[in-house]
Structure 1
Amino acid sequence: MHDPLLTPEDAAEALKIGRSTLAKLRIYGGGPAYVKLGASIRYRRQDLDAFLQENSRRSTSEGIATVTWRFRCPYRQSIFRAAPAPRSRAGRALGPRD
């Protein structure tokens, strides 16, 4: 008999991560393999075990170039925007002569 398929909530609990983290890994890549049945997402226990095995490390410097846990999150790129123009104490923008 086949193992039952796990819901995203059950899979996140099994991996000890948040549901939103698991969803982001699914969207941006780097997470465990999943099964899509219509609109439903399900995970197989052996895929979760394989994901944990692939991400096992013995030191913090091991596998830096091949870590699959990292993912890009587009809304975090706002930290790279240019700083706002400096302003005077009165609140007006400072020009090149100020």
Structure 2
Amino acid sequence: MESDLMAPTDLATKLGKSQAALAQWRYLGIGPPFIKLGRNVRYRTRDVEAWLDRQTMQRTGDPAGGAA
């Protein structure tokens, strides 16, 4: 199971974002789902991939998912 979890540092690198940006997303509830293990935040790989799939757009201005 541990290999299925990413630390914020790993996800920040993967997405090209800062850890502060991820913390802000968590606060706003707009980023990928996360798990709190005590004081540690972790992201499931499958949750991140599903979240990225929902961010896919067909063109600028389309709502996430590209549905018309």
TM bucket (normalised to shorter chain) is 0.7 to 0.9
Q: Could you tell me which residue of structure 2 aligns to residue 55 of structure 1?
A: 55
Is residue 20 of structure 2 the alignment partner of residue 20 of structure 1? yes
TM-score when scaled to structure 1? 0.59
4+ residue stretches of structure 1 with deviation over 2 A? none
Separation of aligned partners in 2, 1:51 and 1:15 = 12
Cα RMSD, aligned residues only? 1.7
Identify unmatched segments of 5+ residues in structure 1.
68-98
Pair 22,62 (structure 1): closer, same or farther in 2 beyond 3 Å = same
In the alignment of these two chains, the number of paired residues is 64
TM-score when scaled to structure 2? 0.82
3-state secondary structure, aligned to 2:17: coil
Indicate the percent of aligned positions where both proteins have the same amino acid.
Answer: 33
Larger RCO (CA within 8 A; separation ≥ 6): 2
Bigger Rg, structure 1 or 2: 1
